[in-house]
Amino acid sequence: MTEIFGIPTQALFGQLLIGLINGSFYALLSLGLAVIFGLLNIINFTHGAQYMLGAFCAYLLLNKTGVGYWWSLLLAPLIVGALGMLIERLMLKRLYKLDHLYGLLLTFGLALVIQGVFRNEYGTSGQPYAMPAELAGGRNLGFMFLPNYRAWVIATSVAVCLGTWFVIEKTKLGSYLRAATENPALVQAFGINVPRMITLTYGFGAALAAFAGVMAAPIYQVNPQMGADLIIVVFAVVVIGGMGSIMGSIVTGFSLGIIEGLTKVFYPEASNTVIFVIMAIVLAVRPAGLFGAQK
């Protein structure tokens, strides 16, 4: 068997693949956080719970109504996105005039409620979710075995991330959004309905989290706690990247996933903490984050 630095290539590429998969989820989630933060100025602590809700939507759709993976990929984000818009309309909207910390506290409370309800119903053990038959199996690339589903997850999240980046940076709708981030009052004066834009943005961010959740369901099991620990890592990713740029959060998400995967190969004890260590180093050297605007 071939080896690199004394590590069998099979193991190396295997971990690299897991890293890329994790990186896909970091990128999708931190992208959603960045989009929401840009317009609403709040950090959406419910993001992890919305990711979990997406996975549970897929699970319930399959087991209660027999709706399969592909429809879930469309329906779950719509359901969770609608729920998100409801949250924004009923609760978050009342907090915009206050300190931004209240938004964080409110979404943290909501996350506790959602996770608690699901933990009551399903316990802490994971529920299996079968991967779609079309994507079962895999192919041998010569140096490693690539399961089809994993290739699909990586390709789709890259596509969704780039699509989001394109819409925000290159389209007219995106330019309204960026203008409203800079100066909502002025944009409203031009006759654009900013409150509705805010609601839709929050719904979109929540839908993005749910989309990631559906894709994660066949890989990790569907578990009420699946979003809670993930969201903390995503926060660290966001601090490292800085929330100033959309592309920044995508690149940071994928790179940190890969770094985490490599750490698992070379120094497994640190694989849980490596992202936090990187965050500490970045804070010491460049406090605004790698892609953040230096004040």
* Residue 16 sits in the site that holds another protein (CB under 8 A): no
Side-chain half-sphere exposure of 107, counting CA atoms within 13 A = 27
- Kindly tell me which of 77 and 257 has the beta carbon lying closer to another protein: 257
* Residue 272 sits in the site that holds another protein (CB under 8 A): yes
* Residue 259 sits in the site that holds another protein (CB under 8 A): no
* Rounded Cα gap, residues 243 and 292, in angstroms: 6
- Kindly tell me which of 182 and 269 has the beta carbon lying closer to another protein: 269
Could you give the angle at the alpha carbon of 163 between the alpha carbons of 259 and 148, nearest 5°? 60
* Residue 209 sits in the site that holds another protein (CB under 8 A): no
Residue from 17, 36, 76, 110 binding another protein (CB under 8 A):
110
- Kindly tell me which of 120 and 125 has the beta carbon lying closer to another protein: 120
Choices 9-17, 145-153, 191-199, 278-286; region in contact with another protein by CB under 8 A? 278-286
Site residues for another protein, window 222-241 (CB under 8 A)? 228-229, 232-233, 235-236, 238-239
* Residue 197 sits in the site that holds another protein (CB under 8 A): no
Helix (H) or strand (E) holding 147: strand 145-147
* Residue 43 sits in the site that holds another protein (CB under 8 A): yes
- Kindly tell me which of 65 and 273 has the beta carbon lying closer to another protein: 273
Length of the chain (residues): 295
Number of residues that bind another protein (CB under 8 A): 42
* Residue 195 sits in the site that holds another protein (CB under 8 A): no
DSSP 8-state assignment for residue 294: P
Residue from 74, 117, 173, 189 binding another protein (CB under 8 A):
117
Residue from 9, 11, 71, 108 binding another protein (CB under 8 A):
108
Instruction: Supply the minimum distance, in Å, between the C-beta of residue 117 and another protein.
Output: 6
* Rounded Cα gap, residues 163 and 101, in angstroms: 31
* Residue 277 sits in the site that holds another protein (CB under 8 A): yes
Asked if 73 and 208 touch (Cβ cutoff 8 Å), the reply is no
Q: Of the candidates 254, 263, 293, 182, which has an alpha carbon nearest to the alpha carbon of residue 29?
A: 254
Choices 52-60, 92-100, 134-142, 170-178; region in contact with another protein by CB under 8 A? 92-100
Q: Of the candidates 217, 182, 225, which has an alpha carbon nearest to the alpha carbon of residue 54?
A: 217
Residue from 8, 109, 163, 195 binding another protein (CB under 8 A):
109
Residue from 57, 62, 111, 217 binding another protein (CB under 8 A):
111
* Rounded Cα gap, residues 195 and 201, in angstroms: 10
* Rounded Cα gap, residues 82 and 40, in angstroms: 17
- Kindly tell me which of 100 and 196 has the beta carbon lying closer to another protein: 100
Q: Which stretches within the chain are classed as H helix?
A: 9-40, 47-60, 69-90, 101-122, 148-170, 172-182, 184-189, 194-216, 226-241, 246-266, 274-285
* Rounded Cα gap, residues 107 and 163, in angstroms: 27
What are residue 42's phi and psi, to 5 degrees? -125, 155
Residues lying near another protein in the complex (CB under 8 A): 42-43, 91, 94-95, 98, 100-102, 104-106, 108-117, 119-120, 228-229, 232-233, 235-236, 238-239, 269, 272-273, 276-277, 279-280, 283-284, 287
